[in-house]
Structure 1
Amino acid sequence: MSSRLRALQIKDCQALKEFVLFENNDKFKTEQRSWAPSLTKLILLGCPHLEVLKPLPPSTTCSELLISGVSTLPYMEGSSGEKIRIGNIDEYEDDDFDYTSDELRTLDDKILMFPNLKNLKSMVIHGCRNLSSISLKGFSYLVSLTSLEIRNCEKLFASDEMPVHTLEDVAPANCRAFPSLECLSIDSCGIVGKWLSLMLQHAPCLDELYLSSREEENSEEEENPEEEDNSVSNHSSSSEDTSSGNSDDRLARDGPSHIPLNLISPLKRITIKRCPHQTFNWGKEGVSGFTSLEKLIILDSPDLLSSLVHTNGRWFLPNSLGKLKINGHSKKTLQPCFPSDITSLKKLKGLQFLGSLRHLTVHKCPDLPPYLESFSRQGYTLLPRLETLCIDDPSVLTTSFCRHLTSLQHLKLTWLEEVRLTDEQEQALVLLKSLQELQFNRCSALVDLPAVLHNLPSLKSLKNELSLQALKLQNIYYCIM
């Protein structure tokens, strides 16, 4: 029967203790092969006394697997080739079955038939409160696994000492526990720094890392756009306001986690939240050495931010960075900067912390003016020391943000499509009393220079990188001081 059986479903068999198909034997253990090679559907529900002594899934072609209320196994749902969930999955809770997984202590080859999961792409381990270790050797069989999410496993990797079997698992030089892993998410777990470093070392293809010491209701990507303005003011609070009383901040208390050299190139997204004691050994170049990094979010993790900032407050970021969101650090000492003028920054939260920023270039950001205006309505004085501003949207001139740029000396307007500035924009330009240089770059449609240039007392230079033939020359005399 085991070789031909395609579907097996057992429900509400309260008295069932044994089933011949699930009994263990030495032959299976030595050969490590599928014990039901044709089984594509296995459902076991509400059998509290049934002993399943063979690992799951039973075959590489199992497309439907659902285990709940079985004493020897945790809750499991998924398939051999797509996604498997293990443990307490809140959205699947049901009064009829026991979904708890408190007895699961080790996720190894007694629970999972790892060779049958070589096509698995995603795994979620959730709510296994007594789970203390996983088999790194077993995970090395999951050559197609690209996403691993571990949540609410309080004891997982919490010990400072590594078991002997773990060291033996990773001893071979060519052993990779997570050979194809691209996304690693660890939330509300007890993992300490040395364990995290080991996992990262064995994930050479990782491009997204998410760490949090306390589970949150909504992920970063699910934020409500309508609440964007409110989130700006909320993120200015100190880490003590959000992390006080948090008993689940064990992440990496044993010392800084090490980011191995194999991850410096591929990592694209890093999110670290509510890890007040977390620090990383980023290498001599810090986070600027991660040349592929596109998103960096660090919230309520003051020690981590402090470890990234040099003694003079400068924090070098990679030019590839497109999104930056931070809080929990003094705005007087934090000075984010890029190695060169050309960056990929597209989204920035926590702008009020950039009090020392002197040069800002913004291109193709149509939502910037209302965003800056929202800051002004909340009472923020942004970028008070800004000296150079390069923009391609003259409407920024009319915002409260631009009116308070009392240190601005150089203004560069690029790629303007209008023939002239509006009257409102010209009047706003007059408020820049410290402006010394005004430059138009690649503004082929521009016909008239601003008629109020003579009202700029500090203006010394007017530049236009295109030919002046298109301009009405009678306006130029205003620039002669």
Structure 2
Amino acid sequence: MDSLKLIGSAPDRGTEVCVFPSLKELRIENMPALEEFYGGATQWLPCLKTLYVFYCPKLRVFPNLPCGLSKLSINNVSWVTLPQLCHDQVEASSSSSSLSSLEIYSCGDLVSLAEGLLLHPQLFTSLVELVIQNCSELTHLPIRGFGKFTSLKEIKVKVCPKLRNSSIFGRFLPSLLHTLVIQHCDVLDPLPNKAPQDLDFLTRVIISGCANIKSLPLAEVLGRWKALDHLLLKDCSQLESLGGLQALPSLKHLEVIKCPSLVADDSSSLSTSLAEHPSSSTSLILDEIHIDDLSLLSTMPLKSISTRELHLKCCIDFQSSALEEWALKNRTLLQVLYIRDVSSWQFPLEELQSLCCLQVLDVYHCRELQSLPKLPSSLKELWLCYCSSELEERCLQDSGPDWPKIQHIPTVQIGNYDKETLAAITLEEHNRRTRE
């Protein structure tokens, strides 16, 4: 069907007949020449529940969508706006649209969501999942953002570089939202900064590649996001402040990577925030913190936050003094320390021995690591992978000068492999022995 350009006939060409009145799923795929698709009836496919339209890059004309449709997924279609709902069904039905999942991928001609399908948010009481990805020309969201889509639980907007900063949600987030992912939307500031709102279900927020975001919301906003336990901020070049981060009561996993503009010490604004919202001054205890800039550990609010796992990734300027100071404050809590891809570091971290609860030390690809300091007696696992040959020699069993520092550790792995490789090797060896 590579040359097929038209399916059906225009509604003004004769009697409208619904050809498949009981059809529940329709897939229109891999029709590179298709330009027009006509349903043939005002209420075409009235029982349709699932519609997939994939790789129809010239498709411009499409019939109105039935109200009973529950899933719509489109990929590489040349629609400028989405089709509308069938007017007759909307007027005749006392219920709203049944659409629960909407996925839009790689629609390079799509300009606006303010017209067509999503024009009337009040009709979409069942919509729980929305994915928009790789829509290079998409400029306009629904007129009042997605805040009016009250049943939305998951929103993912990725690689839509022209989305205008008219606020993705309007004034409020959908109250039932539990997952928010915004990636590579350069001119969009995706978070509401001023309107306090109780969000009892929001657990996961990922903001990546959004150059326009300058600050997280203040404590008066974040303090009411009671369920948020996972926050990732990455490649946000203009992010200057973590706002009221310390007010998130359930936060467990924090990742801040490639955010070079974060203010060195926003102590004045933080003092004001704490004075206005004293409950936010309580020190958070997280499960994991991932960062690529050690200076963040000596600034607020991270300076006042404790964690059981600390992941350091690609720290260009590894200032061990910042880590030592932070480690002293967390010596009775920190259990796992991961250090990845640090090139200018020689491990002068003598305070490691004071980490009395540390159980796992995992150092990966730190070529300048020449020797080890004294390690805590609590350590149960030591991983030194893709480090220097000098370090391997110093850790040789019985003969290496660093061997006395590690001989008390139950699990020690040193060499050019990582945990995943070792696990595969161990499994292969186990299978070989089993066959024998």
Provide TM-score, normalisation by structure 2: 0.56
CA 1:185–1:191 in structure 2 vs 1: closer, same or farther (change >3 Å)?
farther
Q: Is the 8 A contact 1:154 1:189 kept in 2?
A: yes
CA 1:140–1:256 in structure 2 vs 1: closer, same or farther (change >3 Å)?
closer
Once the 2 structures are TM-superposed, how far is the Cα of residue 299 of structure 1 from its aligned partner?
Answer: 1.4
| Structure 1 unaligned regions, length at least 5 | 23-33, 89-99, 171-175, 214-248, 405-410, 415-423, 432-481
CA 1:121–1:209 in structure 2 vs 1: closer, same or farther (change >3 Å)?
same
Q: Is the 8 A contact 1:139 1:177 kept in 2?
A: yes
Decide which of 21, 31, 40 is 2:49's aligned counterpart.
40
CA shift digits 1:421-461 (9 cap, x unpaired): xxx9xx99x99xxxxxxxxxxxxxxxxxxxxxxxxxxxxxx
How is 1:213-224 mapped onto 2 (pairs within 5 angstroms)? Answer: 213=209
Q: Is the 8 A contact 1:257 1:281 kept in 2?
A: yes
How is 1:163-312 mapped onto 2 (pairs within 5 angstroms)? Answer: 170=171, 176-193=172-189, 196-197=191-192, 204=199, 205-213=201-209, 250-252=211-213, 256-259=215-218, 261-264=220-223, 265-280=226-241, 282-283=243-244, 287-304=245-262, 306=264
Once the 2 structures are TM-superposed, how far is the Cα of residue 132 of structure 1 from its aligned partner?
Answer: 1.9
Q: Which residue does the alignment assign to 2:431?
A: none
Q: Which fold has the larger relative contact order, with Cα–Cα distance below 8 Å and residues 6 or more apart in sequence?
A: 1
Looking at CA atoms only, which structure, 1 or 2, has the larger radius of gyration? 1
Matched to 2:103, the amino acid is R
Partner Cα distance (1:65, 1:376) in 2: 43
Partner Cα distance (2:361, 2:221) in 1: 45
1:84 pairs with 2:49: no
Partner Cα distance (2:218, 2:343) in 1: 41
Q: Which residue does the alignment assign to 1:6?
A: 23
Q: Is the 8 A contact 1:60 1:116 kept in 2?
A: no
Q: Is the 8 A contact 2:204 2:229 kept in 1?
A: yes
Q: Is the 8 A contact 2:241 2:263 kept in 1?
A: no
Q: Which residue does the alignment assign to 1:146?
A: 153
Q: Which residue does the alignment assign to 2:356?
A: 390
CA 1:402–1:394 in structure 2 vs 1: closer, same or farther (change >3 Å)?
farther
Partner Cα distance (1:138, 1:5) in 2: 35
Once the 2 structures are TM-superposed, how far is the Cα of residue 63 of structure 1 from its aligned partner?
Answer: 4.5
Decide which of 37, 52, 56 is 2:62's aligned counterpart.
52
Q: Which residue does the alignment assign to 2:367?
A: none
Q: Which residue does the alignment assign to 2:116?
A: 110
Partner Cα distance (1:87, 1:203) in 2: 31
Partner Cα distance (1:378, 1:403) in 2: 20
Between the two proteins, the alignment pairs up a number of residues equal to 324
CA shift digits 1:366-392 (9 cap, x unpaired): x76xx68x9999853254457944237
| Structure 2 unaligned regions, length at least 5 | 1-16, 84-96, 271-280, 363-369, 380-397, 406-436
Partner Cα distance (1:394, 1:48) in 2: 56
Secondary structure of 1:288's partner?
Answer: helix
CA 1:388–1:124 in structure 2 vs 1: closer, same or farther (change >3 Å)?
same
Partner Cα distance (2:241, 2:252) in 1: 18
Q: Is the 8 A contact 1:136 1:177 kept in 2?
A: no
Once the 2 structures are TM-superposed, how far is the Cα of residue 256 of structure 1 from its aligned partner?
Answer: 3.7
Q: Which residue does the alignment assign to 1:361?
A: 331
Partner Cα distance (2:256, 2:121) in 1: 35
Partner Cα distance (2:360, 2:39) in 1: 76
CA 1:136–1:386 in structure 2 vs 1: closer, same or farther (change >3 Å)?
farther
Once the 2 structures are TM-superposed, how far is the Cα of residue 268 of structure 1 from its aligned partner?
Answer: 1.6
Once the 2 structures are TM-superposed, how far is the Cα of residue 308 of structure 1 from its aligned partner?
Answer: 5.1
Partner Cα distance (1:190, 1:259) in 2: 22
Matched to 2:23, the amino acid is R
Secondary structure of 2:192's partner?
Answer: helix
CA 1:401–1:317 in structure 2 vs 1: closer, same or farther (change >3 Å)?
farther
Matched to 2:309, the amino acid is K
Decide which of 108, 125, 132 is 1:125's aligned counterpart.
132
Partner Cα distance (2:248, 2:139) in 1: 32
Secondary structure of 2:249's partner?
Answer: coil
Once the 2 structures are TM-superposed, how far is the Cα of residue 354 of structure 1 from its aligned partner?
Answer: 0.8
Once the 2 structures are TM-superposed, how far is the Cα of residue 186 of structure 1 from its aligned partner?
Answer: 1.4
CA 1:70–1:211 in structure 2 vs 1: closer, same or farther (change >3 Å)?
closer
Matched to 2:291, the amino acid is I
Partner Cα distance (1:199, 1:125) in 2: 26
Once the 2 structures are TM-superposed, how far is the Cα of residue 269 of structure 1 from its aligned partner?
Answer: 1.6
Q: Is the 8 A contact 2:160 2:184 kept in 1?
A: yes
Q: Is the 8 A contact 1:41 1:63 kept in 2?
A: yes
Once the 2 structures are TM-superposed, how far is the Cα of residue 294 of structure 1 from its aligned partner?
Answer: 0.8
How is 1:321-336 mapped onto 2 (pairs within 5 angstroms)? Answer: 321-328=286-293, 330=295, 334=299, 336=302
Partner Cα distance (2:347, 2:282) in 1: 24
Q: Is the 8 A contact 1:209 1:269 kept in 2?
A: yes
Matched to 2:292, the amino acid is N
